[in-house]
Amino acid sequence: MRITAAPLWLAATNCWVVAAEPGGPAVIIDAPPDVPGILELVRRSGVAPAALLLTHGHLDHIGGAGGVAGEYGIGTSLHPDDGWLADDLPAQVRLLMGFEDPGETYAGAGRYEPLADGAVFDVAGLRFRVLHTPGHTPGHCCFWLEEQGVLFSGDHLFSGSIGRTDLPGGDYEALMRSMAERVVPLPSETHVLPGHGPATTLARELAINPFLQALHP
């Protein structure tokens, strides 16, 4: 397996490109509003995108989805509970920036294939399991490559921290519950690749992350 990544846009959102083999088909995880940056990452990776999976509907993960899906002619998947976020990106720009048009262009994919908890996503020679992990947003999902021991954790779990829950639709109790039910039971050697910041492992987070320690004393 080959994973390449780049932190893109103002929020330094990690865009992940995952392929079973060098030069083969690939899955893109999250599309920050920097389409040229994503195209460059894909070009550098030397792979052929086959699908775009979105961890959640926040602007910094979805704002490039339209450009990426259009460029490669690929489907985009999002949990339906984040449809309200995807449907009004200008509202997110106003909320995040405090003004309407920062001179950038944002475009969601317009149409999303619905992700469902527990669903298995066989694509590009990889088997992703969808873990619905509400809390940061109602439709947040993590993507688990069980065979390879890798979890794409979006804005649910970070190295040393968890996703914020003070934005509209955020729910701290729900985040902690879905962490306990969906993430903590995974094998501790699982590599965790988050939506922002450095990679980590579940074992390390269980040892040093105060939010996980609260669940797993």
Contact residues: Zn ion, CB under 5 A: 58, 60, 155, 195
Pick the closer one to Zn ion by CB: 62 or 202. 62
Pick the closer one to Zn ion by CB: 134 or 195. 195
Residue 159 Cβ vs Zn ion, minimum distance, rounded to whole Å: 14
Residue 55 Cβ vs Zn ion, minimum distance, rounded to whole Å: 8
3-class state of residue 92 by DSSP: helix
Residue 168 Cβ vs Zn ion, minimum distance, rounded to whole Å: 11
Give the C-alpha separation, 38 to 26, whole Å: 13
Please, which contacts does 209-212 make with residues 24 or more away whose CB atoms are closer than 8 Å? 209/157, 209/159, 209/160, 209/161, 209/162, 211/161, 211/162, 211/176, 211/179, 212/157, 212/179, 212/184
CB atoms within 10 A of CB 95: 12
Pick the closer one to Zn ion by CB: 47 or 157. 157
Q: Which residues of 161-180 are buried (b: 16+ CB within 10 A; e: fewer)?
A: ebbebeeebbeeebbbebbe
CB atoms within 10 A of CB 217: 5
Pick the closer one to Zn ion by CB: 66 or 135. 135
**Cβ-Cβ contacts under 8 Å for 121 (sequence gap 6 or more):** 51, 53, 77, 127, 128, 129, 130, 143
Pick the closer one to Zn ion by CB: 58 or 182. 58
Residue 136 Cβ vs Zn ion, minimum distance, rounded to whole Å: 6
Residue 145 Cβ vs Zn ion, minimum distance, rounded to whole Å: 21
**Which residue is at the shortest CB distance from Zn ion?**
58
Pick the closer one to Zn ion by CB: 156 or 182. 156
- CB distance 34 to 9 below 8 Å: yes
- CB distance 13 to 5 below 8 Å: no
Residue 23 Cβ vs Zn ion, minimum distance, rounded to whole Å: 30
